[in-house]
Structure 1
Amino acid sequence: MKLTLLRRCFGSIKRKMHQITSSSIVPLNVRGMKELDRQKFLRKLTVPILRIPEEKVSKITKTCKPYFLKMENIKPVQSATNSLFKEIILNPDKVTKWSDISESDYQELQKHGVDEASFITKDIQLGYDNFKYETIFKAVLPEGEETVSGFSQIGHIIHLNLRDHLLDYAPLIGQVLMDKIKTCRTVVNKSNIIDNTYRNFKMDVIAGDEDFLVTVKENQCQFQFDFSKVYWNPRLGKEHERILSFLKPGDVLFDVFCGVGPFSIPAAKRKCRVFANDLNPDSFKWLNENAKNNKINNKFFKSFNEDGKDFICNTFKEFIEDLCNGKEQLPVGAKVHVTMNLPALAVEFLKYFKHLITDKDLSEKINCDIIVYLYCFAVGDNPFDVAKRMVIDNIGVDMSSDILDIFDVRNVSPKKEMIRVTFKLTKDVLFGVDSDTEPPKKKMCINEVNENK
């Protein structure tokens, strides 16, 4: 018994080492292929089989599941030549002989009459349809180089950012993704350079239809847009959801760089009052289209096609002044939120908040929190410190104590993070009045009261 246990442990160690160093379930002789030839992916593979009585399949498959051969279009449990039996196809990277099965699983199988006599091998035919796209790319693309590390899907479009050494393989990569991802009809390669004015990517269609009109769902809203003319990043869906969780019915949102509305449309749908702005005329067009398609009530939504500076210095300023003058009313406890999601440039717009309102007397009358969510790219070993310094330097006031949160939204590239800095926009910034001291007029009134006593 001890010898059996030792043999099984040794076999398990060997098996794990084999899994780490190599895999037998890969396409052969396709390295460097640039034009997709599906026939060249045909190969034979010797696989281990457990032949078991058909009536015991349900009891045995639970034990065998960790050893299943999991490939596309291959059922791990199949009918045998003898109709009274079933065959369980095992993964040859995990099992090459009976002793590779763990002691506990071996004992469980024995309870159902399955032993080494049930273990056989046979050859099966593999083809292009059996391999996942990750396996195909690993077998075809240059060895030792970065492969297709990831991609995003927006509606029926998959977009890639291919490295230079992969550009010659672009048609093959595109076709493989179209074959393997059934909802994909178009594959584009987009450069890393974004037009900072309208946030457009340069893109090339490498496979499929030249159709950029997409429909996506996010936060219980449906968005439609021309992906070639506006910005949309599906990796930001969770961040959109986080910000929306901070908004309550009756709050106000100023979305300075709103795009097609991933913050604005769901916020308005939740009965926040929304002022949404984007300079890109195509974003503005689809923003309004999405508001209409999602049946947004106009009393909760107003859109603007302006530069961010004008939106802050006119629309936002006017609203705050009206709020102070009583022309605008907010429910008790409601807040004003400002989202600034233009990470390459948004910090440069913070200076327009400084002393935005010249009538200092109005500072006495503002009675709600104004919360800003500023997005930026921080490069360096300490991205939080970099982001904090960028915000303070650009707003021109040391408002360290008013920073509520610094959050790492996502990694962009080595030592480059997309960071959100959340802070309160105080009277000190907006009016040039120290929030911790009482306004002069109020002090004068107190003095007058004391003199009359």
Structure 2
Amino acid sequence: MTPVLPVALLPIGVRGMKVLNRQKFLRNVVVPILKVSDEKVSKVTPICKNYLLKLDSFKPVQTLKPNSENSHKIIHLNPEKISQWMDFQDSEREILQKCGITEKDFDSKEIQITYENFKYDAIFKAVLPENEDTVSGFSQIGHIIHLNLRDHLLDYKQLIGEVLIDKIKTCSTVVNKNNIIDNTYRNFSMEIIAGEENYIVSVKENNCNFRFDFSKVYWNPRLSKEHERILEYLKPGDVLFDVFCGVGPFSIPAAKRKCKVFANDLNPDSFTWLKFNAKQNKVDTKLFKSYNMDGKDFICKTFKDFVIELCKGEVQKEFKIHVTMNLPAMAVEFLKHFKGLLEDKSLMEKFHYEIIVYVYCFVIGDDPYKNAEELVKENIGCQIDNLHIFYVRNVSPKKEMMRVKFNLTKSIIFGEIQELECEPPQKKICIEKDITD
């Protein structure tokens, strides 16, 4: 957790600043100190640990008189926690006294604080409008920080961008999203508000390196843990059909784990970077095939042909088939293509494979688990047993991203299943939660 800067040390006189003036943050303040001889510092500092003055680019323990024969150290303390000797707890004062530190060693000192000593959140708290939402969070993708600023902050966007570049050393570009993701390719328009115009980023995730143009493809670092969860389900020899694969966060690590992967994305830029990343990560080309197709065509052609070939094959191998559908805004709309996908009923007796679907969706309402269940069943158009519903993340107030996992059974894929309008059979719904995420 980032330490909270004492109110007494916050910048003053900068409220409403729209053009960053770093000199305006310079101020002199008086803080409490302890004077300690060099030989006692190692014993005294742990006692003062919770009281230390913590600022960026500032050492709370400093030498009083450098190059002096009788060198002493000054321990700078937080003025909001300590203002006098008696503010130490009795037990702490007792230990300090055993170390030879008494009230006479407690003093105050004027120090100068500059822009370099403030963290970005302290600067935003001092500059941006009071009683309004501030820059509460952002995503970092490689060297790019991605913001979604509220309207009342747009006048401050240049200052916000410059501060973030100053304070986050791995950042050289700050962008602000201009609109919601509502186009075919799931990318959004953005503007650079600070730094260099360079959208080509490099990201490492699940032991794989990804490179892509962030302005043309979709990537969300908040999904890293979810990518990892799905990969844990995959075993060497399994097969993955990634219907909306993007630049490969599911597909490429899966292939590295010796899974047979069929990766598809409609966005031509995603497809280009997918192939680039597969090559960059030295994916075995025998295990990896990439496609630039609509999701419907990928299911009704590539996936269908694969299952037919399996059923016609003489040798029945033991492996699972996984289907990931990470396009939460509309992935459920593609579920209908699985129902009755295979018309040739003669293949049914040879269908002995476990096919697991992981479909993602956005839901709104007070019961996201129930809403996700209804959304999936409504779109596939039939009853599904043994749904596993998992909460992925919060998107916005009352809007959640959910993952629904279910088996694509022989009955569904050959169209011999009870329609949704009929009385539903007894079913089991498994709700999964990860309170650590």
Please tell me the residue identity of whatever aligns with 1:425. Answer: L
- Kept in 2, the 8 Å contact 1:156–1:214? The answer is yes
RMSD over aligned Cα, in angstroms?
1.6
Give secondary structure in 2 for the equivalent of 1:417. strand
**1:80 and 2:64 aligned:** yes
1:409 to 366, 389, 392: 392
Partner Cα separation in structure 2 for residue 203 and residue 239 of structure 1: 26
Partner Cα separation in structure 1 for residue 179 and residue 395 of structure 2: 10
- Kept in 2, the 8 Å contact 1:251–1:330? The answer is no
Partner Cα separation in structure 2 for residue 21 and residue 38 of structure 1: 18
- Kept in 2, the 8 Å contact 1:376–1:419? The answer is yes
Which residue pairs with 1:162 in the alignment? 149
Deviation digits for residues 136-162 of structure 1 (CA, Å, limit 9, x no counterpart): 000000000000010011111001000
2:366 to 381, 387, 408: 381
Task: Select the structure of larger CA radius of gyration.
Answer: 1
4+ runs deviating over 3 angstroms:
19-22
* Stretches of structure 1 lacking an aligned partner (at least 5 in a row): 1-18, 436-453
What TM-score comes out, normalization by structure 2 length? 0.92
1:21 to 1:305, Cα distance in 2 relative to 1, 3 A: closer
1:235 to 198, 222, 237: 222
Partner Cα separation in structure 2 for residue 198 and residue 344 of structure 1: 11
Which residue pairs with 1:6 in the alignment? none
Which residue pairs with 2:408 in the alignment? 425
- Kept in 1, the 8 Å contact 2:6–2:78? The answer is no
- Give % identity: 64
Give secondary structure in 1 for the equivalent of 2:7. coil
Which residue pairs with 2:14 in the alignment? 30
1:140 to 1:194, Cα distance in 2 relative to 1, 3 A: same
What TM-score comes out, normalization by structure 1 length? 0.89
Please tell me the residue identity of whatever aligns with 2:408. Answer: L
2:36 to 42, 52, 61: 52
Partner Cα separation in structure 1 for residue 87 and residue 179 of structure 2: 47
Residue 192 of structure 1, CA deviation: 4.3
Partner Cα separation in structure 2 for residue 211 and residue 326 of structure 1: 50
- Kept in 2, the 8 Å contact 1:363–1:433? The answer is no
Give secondary structure in 2 for the equivalent of 1:261. coil
Please tell me the residue identity of whatever aligns with 1:70. Answer: K
Please tell me the residue identity of whatever aligns with 2:79. Answer: P
Residue 84 of structure 1, CA deviation: 2.3
Superposition map of 1:167-206 within 5 A: 167-206=154-193
1:61 to 21, 45, 48: 45
Residue 207 of structure 1, CA deviation: 0.3
**1:361 and 2:346 aligned:** yes
Give secondary structure in 1 for the equivalent of 2:159. helix
Which residue pairs with 2:424 in the alignment? none
Partner Cα separation in structure 2 for residue 287 and residue 357 of structure 1: 29
Which residue pairs with 2:105 in the alignment? 118
Please tell me the residue identity of whatever aligns with 1:43. Answer: R
Please tell me the residue identity of whatever aligns with 1:418. Answer: M
Please tell me the residue identity of whatever aligns with 1:368. Answer: Y
Give secondary structure in 1 for the equivalent of 2:178. strand
Aligned length: 413
- Kept in 2, the 8 Å contact 1:427–1:434? The answer is no
- Kept in 1, the 8 Å contact 2:6–2:79? The answer is no
- Kept in 1, the 8 Å contact 2:5–2:54? The answer is no
* Stretches of structure 2 lacking an aligned partner (at least 5 in a row): 419-437
Partner Cα separation in structure 1 for residue 57 and residue 4 of structure 2: 25
**1:317 and 2:300 aligned:** no
Residue 60 of structure 1, CA deviation: 1.2
